[in-house]
Amino acid sequence: MAAPKKNGIQTVYFKNPPVIIAAASIVGCLEGEGPLGKTFDQVVNDTYYGEKTWEKAEQRMMLETMQKALEKAGLQVKDIDYMLAGDLLNQIITANFTARVLGIPFLGLYGACSTMYEGMALGAMLIDGGFAEKVLVGASSHYSTAERQYRFPTEMGNQRPMTAQWTVTGAGAAVLAREGSGPVITHATIGKVVDLGQGDAQNMGAAMAPAAADTITCHLQDTSRQPDYYDLIITGDLGAYGKKLTGQLVTQYGYDISDRYTDCGILIYSASQDVHAGGSGCGCSAVVTCGYLMESLRSGKYKRLLGIGTGALLSPCSVQQGETVPGIGHAVVIEMR
């Protein structure tokens, strides 16, 4: 017997669509100078954000972003049933230490750069399932913390290939609620881990593209929809190369999304900023979604969008041992009703 809220193979629909009643975003200087700079709540001009380490700076950004989202929703910490959050650092210390301060019942998530959309999908399930009234969701990343962990400390000045992406310094947070005013989450498509053998850790867009294409195709098949149902289809952080490859792969499945498809990693920076292939990191889709996309939905620019958070599931250990880079993509439908 099929689950009553299951729609096809990997998609669920929400009978009482949870509302995104508030969202907030804080970004670094480079992100603030980009095309979407005015859509963020705050721009931080100091990479240390007044702290002793970049890791502490990232923690402060997530904490203040979540507090700002609560403030915009007119809520206090005690009003939130669960906090769902994650980041890129070992043992998701940014999210863990933020949860330590806030004191909200906490579910830590790691989906690499897909974490924000994974959190929105799970948060919507908690609310529609009757397990929560209000859920706080968030994700963050920081260029210097990610470089130190996954590649080389920035002080070394290593040359980056053109396929490399720039980890976004920023944090995004959203408050989901059973009732309220704002965009609603109607569907979620939970992705599968897909690995076509790409082993270059400096080309994560190519590693994530197969998973993104798989999730987009599965969602359209599960819902019996065509791409033109959506005003916008947007992936998390594939960058220029990954976006192009995703479009090609989706076409092989019989869908043409070219006239309404873009990527958060492409939107957040301009060509003149020399970030090579574009933006990446947990903070990429988080700040673009909680800033630009929420603003566009509320203004009427978009009414229906399909967002796919994408993640490269690698670690320093797996790279050093010669493993390929698996990818994941989780999709959420957000509509303005």
Transcribe 77-108 into DSSP letters: GGG-SEEEEE-SSGGGHHHHHHHHHH---EEE
Cα(42)–Cα(19) distance, rounded to whole angstroms?
23
Q: Say whether both 89 and 153 belong to one domain.
A: yes
Q: Say whether both 49 and 122 belong to one domain.
A: yes
Q: What is the pLDDT of residue 274?
A: 84
Q: Say whether both 164 and 196 belong to one domain.
A: no
Q: Is residue 45 part of a domain?
A: yes
Q: Is residue 81 part of a domain?
A: yes
Q: Is residue 209 part of a domain?
A: yes
Q: What is the pLDDT of residue 28?
A: 98
Q: What is the pLDDT of residue 276?
A: 77
Residue that is written with structure tokens 């959203």 in the block: 174
Q: Say whether both 154 and 15 belong to one domain.
A: yes
DSSP secondary structure letters along 178-205: SS-SS-EEEEEEPPPPB--S---TT-HH
Cα(117)–Cα(139) distance, rounded to whole angstroms?
9
Q: Say whether both 311 and 192 belong to one domain.
A: yes
Pairing mode of beta strands 232-235, 304-312: parallel
Q: Say whether both 140 and 189 belong to one domain.
A: no
Token pair, residue 158, equals 């290593």
Q: Say whether both 59 and 91 belong to one domain.
A: yes
Q: Which of 177, 212, 229 is at the close of a domain?
A: 177
Which residues constitute the domain of residue 144? 6-177
Residue that is written with structure tokens 């099929």 in the block: 2
What are the phi and psi torsion angles at 32 (to 5°)?
A: -65, -25
Q: Say whether both 232 and 156 belong to one domain.
A: no
Q: What is the pLDDT of residue 174?
A: 99
**How many domains does the chain fold into?**
2
Q: Using N-to-C axis directions, what is the helix angle for 54-73 and 143-150, rounded to 10°?
A: 130
Q: Say whether both 78 and 212 belong to one domain.
A: no
Give the chain's count of helices (H) and strands (E): 11, 15
Question: Cα–Cα distances in Å, from 62 out to 25, 69, 94, 277, 335?
Answer: 9, 11, 7, 25, 26
Question: Cα–Cα distances in Å, from 159 out to 153, 156, 162, 202, 208?
Answer: 12, 9, 10, 11, 23
Task: Give the residue among 41, 43, 45, 49 at the shortest CA–CA distance from 66.
Answer: 41
Q: Say whether both 53 and 158 belong to one domain.
A: yes
Q: Which of 145, 177, 209 is at the close of a domain?
A: 177
Q: Is residue 203 part of a domain?
A: yes
Q: Is residue 274 part of a domain?
A: yes
Q: Which of 127, 150, 177 is at the close of a domain?
A: 177
Q: What is the pLDDT of residue 147?
A: 83
Q: Is residue 55 part of a domain?
A: yes
Q: Say whether both 109 and 195 belong to one domain.
A: no
Number of other CB atoms surrounding residue 322 within 10 Å: 7
Task: Give the residue among 191, 180, 178, 167 at the shortest CA–CA distance from 306.
Answer: 191
Question: Cα–Cα distances in Å, from 103 out to 120, 155, 175, 325?
Answer: 20, 36, 16, 35
- Asked if residues 131 and 122 have their Cβ atoms less than 8 Å apart, the reply is no
CA atoms within 13 A on the CB side of 220: 20
Report helix, strand or coil for 13. Answer: strand
Q: Is residue 1 part of a domain?
A: no
What CATH number has the domain bearing residue 158? 3.40.47.40
Q: Say whether both 198 and 325 belong to one domain.
A: yes
pLDDT tens-place values along the chain, 337 residues long: 668 899 999 999 999 999 999 999 999 999 999 999 999 999 999 999 999 999 999 999 999 999 999 999 999 999 999 999 999 999 999 999 999 999 999 999 999 999 999 999 999 999 999 999 999 999 999 999 988 877 666 665 666 756 777 799 999 999 999 999 999 999 999 999 999 999 888 888 999 999 999 999 999 999 999 999 999 999 999 999 999 999 999 999 999 999 999 999 999 999 899 887 789 999 999 999 999 999 999 999 999 999 999 999 999 899 889 999 999 999 999 999 8
Q: How many angstroms from the chain centroid is the CA of residue 221?
A: 23
